[in-house]
Amino acid sequence: MIYWHVFIAFFIPNIIGYGGGPAIIPLVENEVVGRFGWMTSQEFAETLALGNALPSPIATKMAGYIGHEVAGIPGAIIATFATVAPSLILMLVALGTLYRYRHSIKVKSMSQWARPIIMVLMGYLTWSFLAEGVAGAGLMHTSIIGGVSAVLLMATRIHPAIVVCVGLSYGALLLG
């Protein structure tokens, strides 16, 4: 049963999430934090932080780690499979058909219409991280870390992994 749940928790986000791996994050959060309650919001944030600090696709890293947490190595394999396989198999099997419709307005509008919904989900996740930060580290520390990382991420070319390290160091030194 747990394996079925792991499969569903990653299959659904990946079969509706248009816009590559990042689009899938809020949908996965909805399943693993909201629906199945496998992780707290803070644990999800930690996972996402490390995921952003490491290279390679974000969706598969999240799937592999969360699957492993929930149901060991089989869980990791199932979650990664549910993330990668459905759309890849569809692409391999239906390549010819898809090729014909690759510039179709209807097909394009699918990903275009889904985008604002993903945007809302991402916005909501941003909000819940803010609430989580204020509840945990407090308003002052959340504003300082958030402000500094916003400047570093948006105004400089500093690597996101370094910004993640800044947050970790600040937390270890000042919040511990």
Partner 1 sequence: MKKLSQLFLAFFRIGLLGFGGGPSMIPLVHQEAVKRYTWIEDDDFSDLLAIGNTLPGPIATKMAGIIGYRVAGIMGCLVAVLAVTVPLIVTMIIVLEAFNRFSEERWVQGMSQGIVPVVMVMMAQLTWDFFQKSQVSLGLIGTLVIGAAAGGLIYGLGVHPGLVIGAVLLTALLRPEPTPIEASQGVIK
Minimal distance, residue 1 CB to partner 1, in Å: 20
Token pair belonging to 145: 């870390």
Minimal distance, residue 41 CB to partner 1, in Å: 8
Orientation angle between helical segments 21-29 and 41-53, nearest 10 degrees: 160
Minimal distance, residue 134 CB to partner 1, in Å: 9
Q: Which is nearer to partner 1, 4 or 115 (CB)?
A: 115
Count of CB atoms within 10 A of residue 21's CB?
19
Residues 57/21, Cβ–Cβ less than 8 Å? yes
Count of CB atoms within 10 A of residue 127's CB?
10
**Burial (CB count within 10 angstroms: exposed 0-12, middle 13-18, buried 19+), residue 116:** exposed
Minimal distance, residue 74 CB to partner 1, in Å: 13
Q: Which is nearer to partner 1, 1 or 102 (CB)?
A: 102
Q: Which is nearer to partner 1, 2 or 130 (CB)?
A: 130
